[in-house]
Amino acid sequence: MDCIKKVSAFLSKQKLIKSGDKVLVAVSGGPDSISLLFILDELKDKFGFEIAAAYFDHGIRTGVEREIELVRRYSSKLGIPFFLGAGDVPAVSKRLRLGIEEAARLERFGYLESTANKWGARGIALGHTADDQVETILHHIIRGSGLRGLAGIPASRGHFIRPILTCTRSELLDFLKSRKLNYAVDKTNSDTSLMRNRIRHRLIPYITKNFNPRFRESLLRLGENVAEALEALTGRLDGLVSAPDEGDSFESVTLKSSSIKGLSDFEIFLLVDSILKENFGIFQDVDKHHYDSVKRLISTSTSGKVVQLPFGIETAKEHGDIVFRRRRAKSGRGGTSDMNECTITGTGEFNLPDWGMRVTIEEVPAGDDGKIRNDSGTGYFRSIRFPLRIRRRKMGDNIRPFGMKGTKKLSDIFIDKKVPLSKRDRIPVFEDKGGIFWIPGVVSDERMRIGPKAKRAIRITIDKI
């Protein structure tokens, strides 16, 4: 079966793309991603979707201009949008104390998600192949993996989809040859100082030659079997996790104490693993001692006890329930956004992927409102002294609540409003040159009152993305 038929069957079976979808294709210029781009182009009319190409320069290698020009030229040939992004991965690696590969993944995925949001894409297509699947499963076995690692790379994970996961690298090279398509070669793929490359160029060929000529097929079958078993096991745990609180952008989820009584250790492992995977996008570097710490937390009677997990995730016991939350925002990418704050210099529409929201600021007729409508999604204000800052709460923050003469500490307002502790760092604080004026869904400042004679007002609307 050729690649076009394989991918067509895989898209249908896994329901990766729906009619009317926009799909952003991550293209590095290598053979896998160039194949992905042209295969999806050939299938887009059949399935009724649109595609665009995106290239991200990590700031690690020199000479990427040829790759960029190649992807740009092919995008023009196909008549599709082309997006180009760049980052300083070494600087991010140093700042966040991450390895280069992990920092590169975070920056690349952050750029792809941000670009997909701006373009309105539902899916982001990645060029992982059947060979990548084999290498990943074997890498996990060598490292000492649990069941999740033996399942390998999933066909989809959040917005990310992998349409060519059933195609081998040799099949894709045949596809490129048949279409007379050029591609770039990343020399780092031959660097055997890297574990993955040693597995690809040395270990797999050695095992295939000396032990099992169908070794690749055996590992792929193992991955499929484990994935099916995990799906059956985790399906029994559905419904035990409370939905994330509105406005938390999936940064905080709760396990009710009543739902986890009587679960076996293995069921607790599956449940915790599912929470980290589905709600926080954590698929690696969570070891057995982390799961054991969560199990001990579940059994303790001490409220307020906290367990730290990788990637800024913490687990806390609150009134008998177990709360998983992200301790800090994801690293900012682009514009003037950073981990805690972003700056807006005037009216317009702004996508803030780190906050998981779109903010629209516009001048509108004051109408008959005569006062601020204080809800979690829309606010009306007399005026704003730009630049506007959106940030997290800080110690000492205060505001003059609507209708009051004096100021009040934000911490006291949160207590009065019974805002859960786990949500307080996830609520944006809006501040202009005059100070804090709005905490959506919580409080607005008196100085923003719209007078009865006002003709114009500023409206801020928040939408999830």
105-131 confidence digits (pLDDT tens): 888 988 898 899 889 998 999 999 999
**pLDDT greater than 50 at residue 332:** no
Helix axes 215-235, 265-280, angle to 10 degrees: 100
Mean pLDDT across 38-63: 94
**pLDDT greater than 90 at residue 300:** no
Q: 14 vs 40, 49, 52, 84, CA distance in Å?
A: 15, 16, 21, 29
Q: What is the pLDDT of residue 125?
A: 97
Give the pLDDT band of residue 331 (cuts 50, 70, 90).
Answer: very low
Mean pLDDT across 370-381: 67
Mean pLDDT across 176-204: 91
**pLDDT greater than 60 at residue 295:** yes
Q: What is the pLDDT of residue 246?
A: 45
Where does 170-259 show beta strands of DSSP type E?
241-242, 252-255
Give the pLDDT band of residue 244 (cuts 50, 70, 90).
Answer: low
More confident residue, 318 or 153: 153
**pLDDT greater than 50 at residue 371:** no
Please give the share of the chain, as a percent, with pLDDT higher than 70: 89
As a whole number of angstroms, the distance between CA 399 and CA 414 comes to: 12
Domain boundaries for CATH 3.40.50.620 within the chain = 3-231
More confident residue, 372 or 137: 137
Q: What is the pLDDT of residue 283?
A: 64
Contacts of 19 (CB under 8 A, 6+ apart): 47, 48, 49
**Half-sphere exposure (CA, 13 Å, Cβ side) for 375?**
8
Contacts of 44 (CB under 8 A, 6+ apart): 50, 51
Which fold would CATH assign to domain 3-231?
Rossmann fold (3.40.50)
As a whole number of angstroms, the distance between CA 445 and CA 434 comes to: 10
Q: What is the pLDDT of residue 182?
A: 95
As a whole number of angstroms, the distance between CA 162 and CA 173 comes to: 17
Domain boundaries for CATH 3.30.465 within the chain = 241-326
**pLDDT greater than 80 at residue 161:** yes
More confident residue, 373 or 411: 411
Give the pLDDT band of residue 330 (cuts 50, 70, 90).
Answer: very low
User: Top-level CATH class of 341-464?
Assistant: alpha beta
Cis peptide upstream of residue 387 (ω within 30 degrees of 0): yes
Q: What is the pLDDT of residue 394?
A: 84
Q: Which of 64-73, 148-157, 299-308, 342-351: highest mean pLDDT? A: 64-73
More confident residue, 275 or 334: 275
Mean pLDDT across 67-85: 95
Nearest residue to 231 via CA among 187, 192, 263, 278:
278
Other Cβ atoms less than 10 A from the Cβ of 14: the count is 16
355 and 331 Cβ atoms separated by less than 8 Å: no
Domain boundaries for CATH 3.50.40.10 within the chain = 341-464
Mean pLDDT (the chain) is: 84
As a whole number of angstroms, the distance between CA 135 and CA 32 comes to: 15
**pLDDT greater than 70 at residue 225:** yes
Q: What is the pLDDT of residue 373?
A: 54
As a whole number of angstroms, the distance between CA 147 and CA 145 comes to: 7
**Does CATH number 3.30.2420 belong to domain 241-326?**
no
Q: Which of 46-55, 115-124, 192-201, 296-305: highest mean pLDDT? A: 46-55
**Half-sphere exposure (CA, 13 Å, Cβ side) for 6?**
18
Mean pLDDT across 379-406: 87
As a whole number of angstroms, the distance between CA 320 and CA 192 comes to: 50
Give the pLDDT band of residue 269 (cuts 50, 70, 90).
Answer: confident
Q: What is the pLDDT of residue 132?
A: 96
As a whole number of angstroms, the distance between CA 250 and CA 243 comes to: 8
